[in-house]
Amino acid sequence: MRVPAEKMEIIGSFEGKTSENGWLVLDIRRADLDGVNKLYINLDDLESLKGRKREQADAFAKARELLGGL
């Protein structure tokens, strides 16, 4: 599902917790998800996911190099 930019916002804290990068809020009221109105995503967690993806890509590149660049 694509979420238009006008349905997104970044806030600094959520439920009393602060985040260095903030929280991404997706307003999905019209998506009809049984009472779910908004999704809150900690952007610090998103950075962590990006880091893991980079590590996986690096490991793949190393394996590929060890196999002679296949």
On the question of pLDDT at 30 being above 80, the answer is: no
**For residues 52-70, average pLDDT:** 82
Q: Which two tokens stand for residue 58?
A: 């690096």
**C-alpha span between 8 and 3 (Å, rounded):** 7
Element (H, E) at 22: strand 17-27
Q: Let me know: does 46 contact 24? Beta carbons within 8 Å.
A: yes
Parallel, antiparallel, or unpaired for β 38-42 and 17-27?
A: antiparallel
Of all residues in the chain, the percent with pLDDT exceeding 70 is 96
Q: Mean pLDDT in the chain? A: 83
pLDDT of residue 15: 93
Q: Which two tokens stand for residue 39?
A: 């999704």
On the question of pLDDT at 43 being above 80, the answer is: yes
